[in-house]
Amino acid sequence: MKDIIRKVLQETIKEKELDEKTRTLKNARKVTLYPKSAKKANPLRFRPELREDSVEYVNNLSPEQLTYVKKYIEKNGKIDWNNLKFAGIDWYKNNRQINKLLSKNIGSREDILKKIDERILNKIHTIDDCGTYEFNFIVNNYDLEKDVDGVYYINDVDCIIDQNGSVILSNISDERVTFEKLHNDSDNKYEDILWELGYEIQDCINDKLSELLTNDMGVTVEDIDIRPGKKELFK
């Protein structure tokens, strides 16, 4: 009798654990190498202007610092945070106001759109300095938006990924695994890590696009969606 009760309890616990795993995976969206952006699920984390303390991060440069930054941008056309920190300017506290100044230096919204298009749209971009990832991607489309503080950002960035891209999964082996193999994971060998790899790919793209847009245009990067692309697009 005790053995029967124990077996029933074990099966009940196992069912609950499976249900919890299912809910967790569902909440993390479909287990795939190409997840939708996580930023939409947590706007307070990725959109500082929505926080109650956002006023502390906007228009907080002293008159002297503001004059210094304007002259710096006028002379260099971009900013270097390593140089600005010597003037007591901190990225965490001052980046939003400085991004506004950079965008204003470019001109109108149309001027900013034109410059973004020239720099990132429908071009093959290469990632080769982001951990062990090596891949190409194309920005197929994006939206340019402005938040309540007047800071421009690109949103709903539609990125096509080259399936010949690869990554070294150091916790599994030292060999490179292509995105195509990860995506067509018929044996579910990589199921437990696909979502993590997908978000890491998004982070690599975010870093690349930020390098191209933020330090001289003041345009930040938010939602990035990734999807597999046809090989002929990357020839």
Give phi and psi for 2, each to the nearest 5.
-65, -35
The dihedral over CA atoms of 22, 27, 28, 33, expressed in degrees to the nearest 10, equals 70
Q: Residue 64 corresponds to which tokens in the numbers above?
A: 């002297």
pLDDT band for position 7 (50/70/90)?
low
pLDDT tens digits for 206-223? Answer: 999 999 999 999 999 999
- In this prediction the pTM is 0.78
Residues 6+ apart with CB under 8 A from 181: none
Question: Distance between CA 220 and CA 235 in Å, rounded?
Answer: 29
| Strand, helix or coil for residue 55 | helix
SS3 178: strand
Tokens encoding 223? 């939602």
pLDDT of residue 102: 96
Higher pLDDT, 103 or 50: 103
Higher pLDDT, 96 or 2: 96
**pLDDT score for 36:** 62
What distance in Å separates the CA atoms of residue 121 and residue 142, rounded to the nearest whole number? 9
The average confidence (pLDDT) of the chain is 82
Q: Which residues pair with 204 in a beta bridge?
A: none
